[in-house]
Amino acid sequence: MSKLKGLSLFANVGIAEAYLKSIGVDILVANELDPERAKFYQEVYKDSKMICGDITDKKVFDEVIKESQERNIDFIIATPPCQGMSEAGLRLEFDERNYLITYAIEAIHALKPKFVLLENVPKQLTTKIKYNNEIILIPEYIKKELSHDYNFNKETLIMAKDYGVPQLRERNIFLLVRKDLPYIWEFPEKQKEITLKEAIGEIPSLDPLLREGLEETKKRFPDYEKKRENGLKVSKWHKPPIHSWKQVEWMMHTPSGKSAIYNEVFYPQKPDGTPIKAHHNNYRRLKWDMPCRTITQNNGVISSLACVHPGRPYTMGTETLYSDPRVLTIYELMIVTSLPIDWPIPNWANESFIRKVIGEGIPSNLVKVIVQNLLKQIE
């Protein structure tokens, strides 16, 4: 029997919700702006009423409220887009996306749910918006609007790595409990960190598929086909990522945890040999002995932030090279995001789309353990 009936705002494809039904929370209504994401969500969560559209449109907002009222929604999870605040974004002052939180607040006022989970990047704590002719921080705005009716958690910053997720990913999460209820909702006790070696160390090694073609790939990597077949035996999502040879060669000479920009010979360079200017975390391999670095939406590109497989050393002639000169596969991304490995990704979804939505999602197990900490009291 369902303990809570939920509404998901800014639902993405439902990564946050992956375990909620199994612990007694039914997300009965969801809203997502992007039609492709909404379609993905509806195929995964067939029992939810997905309302696809812009929540800033009054008709869409009213439909969300109407459907939620009819289903007696008592729980809201809202994850407004973070690109206006994210360290990886432009962070324009008063970015219009930062105001989407106001629609979540309006929904809370309209529905008066028992519990609310509001998630965003840590930068939200120092981001300002214009409110009633004054400029205030977003957390101050949220509390001005809701503190009369809701109690808030004391600590709001949380690291996914502390809650059964093999990924660092820091988040700011407000947990709200309506004041007429006797519950105190805080984060649970921290768990032991899971390293990348523990999470994906036993998954078969893969060579990348070179953009230069299959024949060139086999020439450079004689075991490519054998490794590919072994990978597909594990999961259809553990398949070789596609990269250009020049980038692959740079990473073959880059040890675990290091960036190729520090290589003496095989460093990122232009055709004329000029070094490519890059951040110290670009072209960087992950480390085996710690959780994965924060996954971004650009996780399929070697030059992006710390997204290359840790690799293992091997000898070829007199050279020491490193295996798996590639980004993590979608299967590996699912693991470090703590998604169920049998999560039913629709077959029509292409790889770049899947990578983007995973990079923007909240780690599933993080949401699960936080909500479980509330449900224990309700039980």
Q: What secondary structure does DSSP assign to 207-270, as a single string?
A: PPEETT-HHHHHHH-TTHHHHHHHHHHH-TT--PPEE-HHHHHHHHT--TT-BGGG-SSS--B-
Treating both helix axes as pointing N-terminal to C-terminal, what angle do 101-111 and 138-146 enclose, rounded to 10 degrees?
A: 10
Judged by average pLDDT, the poorest of 12-21, 42-51, 106-115, 268-277 is 268-277
Sign of CA dihedral 280, 282, 284, 288: positive
Confidence class for position 97, pLDDT limits 50, 70, 90: low
Gyration radius of the chain over CA positions: 22
Whole-prediction pTM value?
0.94
The two tokens of residue 257 are 């945890």
Catalytic residue numbers?
82
DSSP string, 340-356: -TT----TT--HHHHHH
The number of helix segments (H) and strand segments (E) in the chain equals: 12, 14
pLDDT in tens, 286-339: 999 999 999 999 999 999 999 999 999 999 989 999 999 999 999 999 999 999
Residue 70: per-residue pLDDT? 98
Kind plus residue range of the DSSP H or E element containing 129? strand 128-131
Query: CA dihedral in degrees (334, 117, 46, 38; nearest 10)?
Result: -80
| Residue 93 binned pLDDT confidence (cut-offs 50, 70, 90) | low
Distance of alpha carbon 186 from alpha carbon 155, whole angstroms? 8
Q: Which pLDDT score, from 0 to 100, does residue 92 have?
A: 47
Which position has the higher pLDDT, 122 or 212? 212
